Amino acid sequence: MKSGALQRHDGQPSEELKDICAELSNLFHQQNDALENAVFMGMTDEQSKAFEKRRERIMVLTARLKEFKEEA
């Protein structure tokens, strides 16, 4: 089995995959909250920078998920 594959030898998702999914879920939740708050209060420069940083991290993690799929 290739390193970083979607599943371990016992058929369960790899720990890295679980970690990526958990982090993505958390980031999506934070992005959603930020957008909901921005509708009513706008976004400060600091909040906008944090939003962009999360967006960039989401892009990195989704690229890693693509690698998982290609390795499977």
Q: So what's the pLDDT on residue 27? A: 98
Tens of pLDDT, residue by residue over 31-55, are 999 999 999 899 999 999 999 999 9
Average pLDDT along the chain: 87
pLDDT at 9 over 90: no
pLDDT at 2: 45
Q: What local confidence, expressed as pLDDT, does residue 3 receive? A: 46
Which tokens is 58 given? 């989401």
Is residue 69 pLDDT above 70, yes or no? yes
Q: What is the mean pLDDT of residues 4-24?
A: 77
Cβ atoms of 31 and 58 closer than 8 Å: yes
